[in-house]
Amino acid sequence: MAIKTIVVGIDFSEESEIALAQAHEIARHTGARLVLVHAGVVPEEPIGVPEGMSSTVDAYRSELRERLGKDRETLESIRQRRLGQGAELSNMVIEGFPDTALCKASEDLDADLVAVGTHGQTGLKRFLLGSVAERVVRLCSCKVLVARQGKDVYGKILVATDFSESAHTVVKAAIEVAGPGAQIDLLYCWNLPVMASSYYAPASAETGVTGPLREGIIQAAEEKAAELIKQYQQDDVELSFTTVQAPPAYGIQEKAEEGKYDLVVMGSHGRRGVRRWILGSVAEVTVRHAPCSVLVVHPEDAH
């Protein structure tokens, strides 16, 4: 389905302005409406407050409520500034932490896309909590755009594919957000299997099948890519395909840097559990390190 509703996370930072600019451009040529969402928290009175401190806590909570009121005014001024520029805009301030609040808003609004900026945090805080952008990628079931400084109109797009069931959805998403006359390059990363033990040479080295195996993998990928290109080639976009022998996260990063792309589009396999928390998915690694904006398409995305 076409992108009809876009939720944009606004925290009044330069990064959220970048996300808004790119989301606004998508809205212009898709006809989608934009909903600007700002999240803030006014905590309940904490348990265990020392006697005599209640008035201080009340004053603090009152200050937070006043700040939220000012945030509403600032958010409305942002909306007013962008009115009449080719997209319908509305806004809302909701209580909650940014990641969960944005995902809740996207569900309530039946949004097709959530757009967020990334602050690029590093260090222990990043390791323990992850950035808001990464958590939104994990939590939201719709498409997520993690915007970085660059062109608002996507003229050169890298689409990472593994030819899984979601490949068609990912390609269609790339075409939908592409600017007029865009170049869309499909990328397939692959690796030959290796032996777990270093005491034994890989079987391919003993049997001499490395070359034919490599050729077979590339040929199969080219055939699948040709089918995708034939199905989705359009007059206003140019589709091409390449393969890279590399682990997906490394291959995508290297290609994105070398090709100077405006956007990387990829699927997420939605891995959950401890392993995903420790290692991160390829999508999250790309969101963290890509030199450009990244659009993540979830397999459960029905939009």
Q: What is the pLDDT of residue 25?
A: 97
From 149, 169, 189, the end of a domain falls on 149
In a domain, 58, yes or no: yes
Same domain, 144 and 56: yes
Three-state SS at 11: coil
Q: How far is CA 125 from CA 119, 132, 138, 260, 277, in A?
A: 12, 12, 18, 30, 15
In a domain, 300, yes or no: no
List the alpha helices (DSSP H) in the chain: 14-30, 54-82, 98-108, 124-129, 132-139, 167-177, 203-207, 210-232, 248-259, 274-279, 282-289
- Boundaries of domain holding 124: 1-149
Looking at residue 272, the DSSP 8-state letter turns out to be: -
In a domain, 18, yes or no: yes
Report the amino acid identity of residue 195: M
Q: Considering only CA atoms, which of 291, 264, 5 is closest in space to residue 137?
A: 264
Same domain, 88 and 161: no
β-strand pairing of 154-160 with 143-147: unpaired
Q: Any idea what the CATH number is for the domain that residue 188 is in?
A: 3.40.50.620
Token readout for 15 is 């990064």
Same domain, 221 and 251: yes
Token readout for 30 is 């898709």
- Contact criterion met (CB below 8 Å) for 270 and 299: yes
Same domain, 286 and 200: yes
Q: Considering only CA atoms, which of 298, 248, 255, 296 is closest in space to residue 116?
A: 296
Same domain, 137 and 185: no
Alpha-carbon distance of 220 to 26, in angstroms, equals 34
From 88, 122, 149, the end of a domain falls on 149
Residue-by-residue pLDDT tens, the chain, 303 positions? 689 999 999 999 999 999 999 999 999 999 999 999 999 876 666 656 676 676 766 676 677 777 777 888 999 999 999 998 989 999 999 888 889 999 999 999 999 999 999 875 544 444 434 578 888 998 898 999 999 999 999 999 999 999 988 899 999 999 999 999 999 999 999 987 665 544 444 544 545 667 888 889 999 999 999 999 999 998 889 999 999 999 999 999 999 999 999 999 999 875 444 434 433 478 888 998 999 999 999 876 645
Beta bridge partners, 141, equal none
Same domain, 1 and 108: yes
Same domain, 2 and 143: yes
Token readout for 286 is 């790309």
Alpha-carbon distance of 246 to 250, in angstroms, equals 6
CA geometry: angle 160, 166, 170, nearest 5 deg: 50
Token readout for 68 is 């939220």
Same domain, 108 and 230: no
Same domain, 91 and 145: yes
Same domain, 27 and 55: yes
Q: What is the pLDDT of residue 122?
A: 44
90: left (phi over 0), alpha (psi -120 to 50) or beta: beta
Same domain, 25 and 129: yes
In a domain, 155, yes or no: yes
Same domain, 142 and 161: no
